[in-house]
A and B are shown apart, each in its own frame.
Chain A
Amino acid sequence: GESVGLHLPTLSVQEGDNSIINCAYSNSASDYFIWYKQESGKGPQFIIDIRSNMDKRQGQRVTVLLNKTVKHLSLQIAATQPGDSAVYFCAENMDTGRRALTFGSGTRLQVQP
């Protein structure tokens, strides 16, 4: 999602529910996408990645879906836990020659116990 001013979009879920965080990316030529989790006061932590030749990739409790037609990326977290509370960023590699990531604006996930 997009941020408005200084406010991050926030997704609030109950513990045990599934979470879906969405991201619209910029460049149809981007070949690689990553989801990062960032807890307060820490650096971004790698969660899962996906290449542009794939539509879906699963990890432990997480699934990333890529829809290249509408340039949309989503992160699904199964059985969300309080420890999942953080800001989640999607990132894309817009230029394969640069090896540099461009980040989306981020979504705050709040898990209610």
Chain B
Amino acid sequence: DTEVTQTPKHLVMGMTNKKSLKCEQHMGHRAMYWYKQKAKKPPELMFVYSYEKLSINESVPSRFSPECPNSSLLNLHLHALQPEDSALYLCASTGVSSTDTQYFGPGTRLTVL
């Protein structure tokens, strides 16, 4: 099983709302990632968790707050977002070696009004 699941598939929120994106994998992977993808652009790395600890934050604004409750789950908490934050948010996971394959979820399409 190489599945990464993400919920919800679509999310529309206002600039004053608080919402969360969820990601789950059961492949025993110990590294999990959040990427942001704008239309016609490649995915851009936001955060990396390694063994449930935040290891990389690519200078992401604090209105995005990641959380890794356990080795299978990854959340992205959203608060006071801007319309330009509208994008496809992708979760990925991989094993511990730098050459392990990184598998992506289907993404959450976020629209900020």
Contact = CB atoms under 8 A, between A and B. Distances in A.
A105 interface: yes
A14 interface: no
Contact of B31 (A34, A99, A103): A99
Contact of B42 (A34, A41, A100, A103): A103
Contacts of A31: 98-99
Size class of the B contact interface (CB-based, 8 Å): 20 to 34
A106 B45 contact: no
A46 B103 contact: yes
Nearest to A43: B104
A41 B100 CA distance: 25
A42 B107 contact: yes
B14 interface: no
B90 interface: yes
- A-B pairs, top 8 by smallest CB distance, nearest first, are A103-B42, A43-B104, A96-B98, A32-B99, A43-B106, A44-B104, A43-B107, A99-B98
Interface of B: 2, 4, 6, 31, 33, 39-45, 48, 50, 55-56, 90, 94, 98-107, 109
